Chain A
Amino acid sequence: MSLGVSGLSVTKAQKLILSKVSFTAPSGQVTGLIGPNGAGKSTLLAALLGLTPATGTAHFHGLDLPAMPRRDRARQVAFVEQSAATEERLSVLDVVALGRIPFEAAWQSAPSPEDDAILAAALGETGMTGFAHRRFNTLSGGEQQRVHVARALAQQPRLLLLDEPTSHLDIRAQLQLLALLRRKAAEGMTVLLALHDLNLAVRFCDHLVVLDAGKLAAQGPPSAILTPALLEAVYGVRARLVADAPTGQPLIVYDDAVERISAQIPD
């Protein structure tokens, strides 16, 4: 079972933000959503979550995500934002427990033993067990992002959507987070994440969806679709793909990007 998006369009203030986007995100794989700023990556994720009105369909396990009841959707799909801060006095455990909201009975006052086990597992998978009783606000950006991922895992989603989750993290935290996503995909979760770093996308994604100005530019395995021609067309940069000797994986090396881009900026 995979996520099948078909003809998804979003119009905001009479402007077409997404135009008939269709793609497949295979289940049990990590799919990277890439494209320049303003290509419509965040809008696409918002449409899948039913947060913005959209036309078209996005089928997942026989359910049309944008159209289904929000509480039911929250039991299938979890979302991690780029960064989410709060001024509230919440412990790490309090934040992770938010992930159980879609499953809680109306007047349930305390987590059930089953919930407790789920929360403990989510903390463990993200390496945050020792932080459970720390104040969320006192954590570093990388730790806060891990707590958000733990919250998303506590929703026990079958589809995990992430909007540039690594953009405020140092490289070690980025690698840890992406490795965790790979593990979850291996366990059968479908993962779709917007990413900016193309080399990380090549290294960690099984499948890429490239958006450009609201339209689908390409989709497929990274090594098949990431070509100098595509990068030039979508990002306007000149790049080479070289093979990384130990792994044989392609590595993107940007050529005269600095000169070309500074040449475009009028004095």
Chain B
Amino acid sequence: MTRLSLPALLVLLVASAIAAVTFGPADITPGEVWSVIAHHLGLLPESPVSRLRDAIVWELRLPRVLTALCVGAGLALSGAVMQAITRNPLADPYLLGLSSGAALGAVSFALVGLTLLMPLGAFFGSLGALALALLIAGLLGGATPSRAILAGICIAALASAATSFLIFWSATGDSYREILSWLMGSLSGSLWFDAALASAALVLCTPIILAYARALDAFAFGDTAAASLGIDVPRLRWTLLGATALLTGIMVAIGGAIGFVGLVVPHAVRLMTGSRHRALLPHAMLAGAIFMLWTDTAARTLFDPRELPVGIITALIGAPVFLFVLLRYRRVT
């Protein structure tokens, strides 16, 4: 199997980030990007860049690029973890209903005026959706891979309907359009606050998840095999589902229900790194960050001055990949 190298991905990530900042209506050179960053970090006392261009880089594009990186990394990581613990190659925060639950939570909080607490609402929503999906799967006779997915689809439909109803009931005009665009998945208008929130969620959840990376390998042959290798299966499952619910919740609160990132990226990475999670998880995070960065850059520049919700692009790429995975793993589903 070909090996991807982490340092190479890291270099690609940084280069992509710098390049993405230069894309947009105002032409900015990579040199100017460096200058602005150096200036704001106190490394360069006098900035050669004009105040306006400095603001475009520092206030608009950088926070958005960083938010995209974190959201992509978080969604890809969540997807990879869910695929391992449900033993379903089609598992993804979006398909399991977590994203819809998070959206419902966030919209509910926003509509009762708790706009600042939207991330918390999203977390409750994704956790609730997850608990409900597992409960339904349990009622069907055990949380097997396909039952968890079927339950997730049911939850996703229900939560989406409830969200749409809430918006129909209370939103008007501009806010309606704004919420709708957010629901389709959009990083438009991301601020430093969003970047900080997304990176905080990553900093909190990544070590917990990576600590279980080796134990996730033991799930390759199912719960019994994992347990016979000394893994505490229920504890691992609940800890990791909690961590992915938190990650998904925060990412949805920031970027809306951006689908398929958690499906597309881990599958692509798996083809190159193999399934050992010590390698897969960090590579999937970096690849997810790069994927999200470029799809978001396309979303904001393709139809300039209008913004395409990035969720549309990820779905356009993701749906065919979903079909590919479905055909490839026919036996599981």
Contacts and interface: CB of A to CB of B under 8 A. Distances in A.
A108 B306 CA distance: 49
Sort chain B's interface into a size bin: 20 to 34
Interface in B97-150: none
Between B89, B228, B231, B270, the greatest number of chain A beta carbons within 10 A of the residue's beta carbon is seen for: B228
Interface stretch (A88-96, A211-219, A237-245): A88-96
B228 A75 contact: no
13 contacts: A51-B228, A70-B231, A79-B228, A81-B224, A88-B275, A90-B220, A91-B274, A94-B217, A94-B276, A95-B220, A98-B218, A101-B230, A102-B229
A162 to B, nearest CB: 11
Contacts of B224: 46, 51, 79, 81
A184 interface: no
A107 B215 CA distance: 11
A77 B215 CA distance: 18
Contacts of A28: none
Interface of A: 46, 49-51, 70-75, 77-79, 81, 84-91, 94-95, 98-99, 101-102, 104, 106-109, 148, 155
B323 interface: no
Contacts of A94: 217, 274-276
B83 to A, nearest CB: 9
Given A78-B228, A94-B275, A98-B229, 11 more contacts: A51-B228, A71-B230, A87-B329, A87-B332, A88-B220, A90-B276, A98-B220, A101-B214, A101-B215, A101-B229, A101-B231
A231 B228 CA distance: 33
Contact of B214 (A46, A75, A78, A104): A104
Given A70-B232, A74-B229, A106-B211, A89 B274 contact: yes
B230 A49 contact: no
Given A90-B275, A94-B274, A106-B211, A84 B230 contact: no
Given A90-B274, A94-B276, A101-B215, A84 B229 contact: no
B48 interface: no
Contacts of B227: 49-51, 70
Contacts of A99: 229
A179 B276 CA distance: 32
Nearest to B223: A51
B225 interface: yes
Interface string B267-284: 000110011101000000
Contacts of B231: 70, 101
Contact of A84 (B89, B221, B276): B221
Interface string B212-246: 00110110111011011111100000000000000
Contacts of A104: 214
A25 to B, nearest CB: 18
Contacts of B271: 89
A99 B228 CA distance: 10
Interface in B79-99: 87, 89
Contacts of A88: 220, 275
A85 B217 CA distance: 13
A51 B229 CA distance: 11
A89 B217 CA distance: 11
Given A70-B231, A74-B228, A84 B217 contact: no
A79 B229 CA distance: 8
Contacts of B278: 109
A84 B222 contact: yes
Sorted nearest first, the 9 A-B pairs with minimum C-beta distance are A74-B230, A88-B275, A71-B230, A79-B228, A84-B221, A102-B230, A86-B220, A88-B220, A89-B275
